[in-house]
Amino acid sequence: MNTCKCSKAESDRERIETLSAQPEGKGLVTIEEEPIIGETPQAILKSWLTPNPLFYIRNHYTIPEGVSDWELTLDGNVEDALSIALQDFHSFPIQTLPITLECAGNNRSDLEPTVPGNPFQNGAVSTAIWAGVPLRHLLERAGVKEGSVEVLFEGFDSGEPAPGESHQPYLRSLPIDVAMHPDTLLAYEMNGEPLSREHGYPVRLVVPGWYGMASVKWLKRITVLQENFVGFFQTDRYIIESDDGETVPVAQMHVKSLISWPAEHMHLPAKPHMINGMAWSGFAHIAKVEVSDDGGKTWQSADLVGPRYRYSWQQWNFAWTPKSSGKYTLVARATDEDGNEQPLETRWNSLGYIINGVRPVCVEVE
């Protein structure tokens, strides 16, 4: 676990101020303008629901132009290939789920030594109420044949993923059992509104519990495969080196927490305060959150409050009475019901994914 480095954090703060003059005044902390990449500001991480304009964005290519006469193709290893228009979604059941999505590279700027890639702080994580049709219903209507192992998703967006790579659409696959899970959604609605262009209008995939790269936007085609898909964003990126040198794909979100309030470097009056934050895991409900005010030497349990749902983050409160004036290093760590513990230190990796080590917040009590 990093101890407080006030000078680094102050330069981060300047960076936010410099970068937050956002096109369209949307209030995200801009990481890149083309394609759009931006994170949710710290002040908004205090809200359990993220308003749509402040939901983090990590696009890989330019937003595709308005998709007129949109139809979704479902083909590959199925009995009957389908072509489905937006109005045909009325013939399938609606499903609505609160789901937290986190970018696999969230907190990348905390890594030392530094790595290339978008230098996210802790705001590439957001929560919305998603509505759509479970993908399973479309797959069942098409009839998935024996021998299917994965389902491939193609977005309408395309480009060169890296210098020297060919022009290609955004492509990602899911194991067949994840694609068939009743909570894997073809979402057309986010917080009661149709998807915005930035978030995948008209229809995107939302894979609950998985890092955001799996939730392919602007869906064009779904193909049932008899073999594992190989592609840039599947096998060259969103992978992590295991201890034995193998590469492992990034999949479910690892257990993690953040402190929403107080913010870094706040000066607080010497009285009781309610520290609060969020915790989440793609594997299970959050079982406990512990808080330390001495940089991790001693820990106390926080109260889990608010909505307690399978795929959305868990809000927590911790009533804190500082013993005296001075500097405090506040840290929080979460454990999920599968027994996964948030590590004190992130496992460094060269592409900068799954950065879930605890993150200190330094405050001064007056």
Footprint of a copy of itself (CB under 8 A): 44, 46-51, 54, 90-98, 129, 131, 189, 191-193, 261, 271-274, 276, 303, 305-307, 309, 315, 317, 319
Residue 299 or 309 having the CB closest to a copy of itself? 309
Report, in Å, the least distance between residue 53 CB and a copy of itself: 10
Among 224, 225, 221, residue whose Cα is nearest residue 84 = 221
- Shortest distance, position 149 Cβ to a copy of itself, whole Å: 29
In the complex, the smallest distance separating the C-beta of residue 35 from a copy of itself, rounded to whole angstroms, is 25
Give me the least distance between CB of 97 and a copy of itself, in Å please. Answer: 7
Nearer to a copy of itself, 276 or 281 (CB): 276
Closest CA to 106 of 196, 45, 165, 157: 45
Length of the chain: 366
C-beta closer to a copy of itself: residue 94 or 248 = 94
Q: Which is nearer to a copy of itself, 206 or 240 (CB)?
A: 206
Pick the closer one to a copy of itself by CB: 97 or 224: 97
**Residue 66: exposure state from Cβ atoms within 10 A (0-12, 13-18, ≥19):** exposed
DSSP 236: I
Instruction: Measure CA 289 to chain center.
Output: 20
254 and 340 Cβ atoms separated by less than 8 Å: yes
Distance between CA 275 and CA 223 in Å, rounded? Answer: 47
Q: Please tell me whether residue 223 adopts helix, strand or coil conformation.
A: strand
Q: Which tokens is 185 given?
A: 């959604």
Question: Measured from the CB of residue 92, what is the shortest distance to a copy of itself in angstroms?
Answer: 6
